[in-house]
Amino acid sequence: MKNQVSSTVALIDYGAGNLRSVANALLASGLTRENLVVTANPDEVLQADRVVLPGVGAFASCMQALKAIPDMVPALEKAVLEKGRPFLGICVGMQLLADQGEEYGVHQGLGWIKGKVTPLRPNDPSCKVPHMGWNQIGLTTDSHPLLRAGEAYFLHSYAFVPEDESTLLATTEHGGLVTAAVGRDNIMGVQFHPEKSQSYGLEFLSRFLDWNP
């Protein structure tokens, strides 16, 4: 069984993520520099033991940027869906797991977790959009090895609405319940930013580095 000392992590560089902050957070969580591969090379993705997909910006532009890298989406599908490599999507990287996103029109996502990404519409007018800042994580299951109750940092204007309730792993409150984490099998996506969530985020990433689903 691999562990975080020997396990290589491919951090996908597709021009749509806060790579430096995520890379530094992974290193602070126990990953060695030798085992961190920041890459836009599909072959390196296929060789990695774990995959992290960050994302900042609009759903459509992030998906377009990912598809613009030749063979990257097929490589991700083979590594994650076929080979079962542990996968983490962060913020828009998590939203891309959906069937579609509704930001600036309707756009197709990866379709790994059934659902869609829709605009935040808080019931409380005092809750501003974008949702920005620290919020409590409420677990919908107490059995997932990666998630703990606590407080994490959010910055988003759209939210994942999963089709299957079993894939909704955590929520937060912002004028109503908002998806904080989705997942199934070897796939995990979080709306919060672990790299900005201080000790909560670093502990979460450390558990991801040890995760063997």
pLDDT digits (tens, 9 = 90+) for 105-158: 899 999 999 999 998 888 888 888 888 899 999 999 888 999 999 999 999 999
Q: To the nearest whole percent, how much of the chain has pLDDT over 90?
A: 82
pLDDT at 161: 96
Tell me the pLDDT band of 1, cut-offs 50, 70 and 90: very low
Tell me what the mean pLDDT of segment 98-102 comes to.
96
| Best CA proximity match to 94, nearest among 194, 10, 196, 24 | 194
Catalytic one among 107, 131, 156, 193?
A: 193
Note the residue count of the chain: 213
195 assigned to active site: yes
pLDDT at 185: 97
Tell me what the mean pLDDT of segment 182-202 comes to.
97
Catalytic one among 91, 107, 131, 156?
A: 91
193 assigned to active site: yes
Q: Write the CA distances from 207 to 86, 97, 182, 198, integer angstroms.
A: 11, 21, 16, 14
pLDDT at 17: 80
Tell me the pLDDT band of 5, cut-offs 50, 70 and 90: very low
Sheet holding 158-162, edge to edge: 107-108, 100-101, 115-119, 158-162
What one-letter code names the amino acid at 41? N
pLDDT at 80: 98
For the chain, state the CA radius of gyration: 16
Model pTM above 0.75: yes
pLDDT at 2: 40
74 has a pLDDT exceeding 50: yes
pLDDT tens digits for 26-54?
999 999 999 999 999 999 999 999 999 99
Rounded Cα gap, residues 56 and 167, in angstroms? 23
127 assigned to active site: no
Residue 182: strand pairing partners: 168, 189
pLDDT at 122: 85
Catalytic one among 156, 163, 195, 203?
A: 195
Between 52 and 173, where is the model more confident? 52
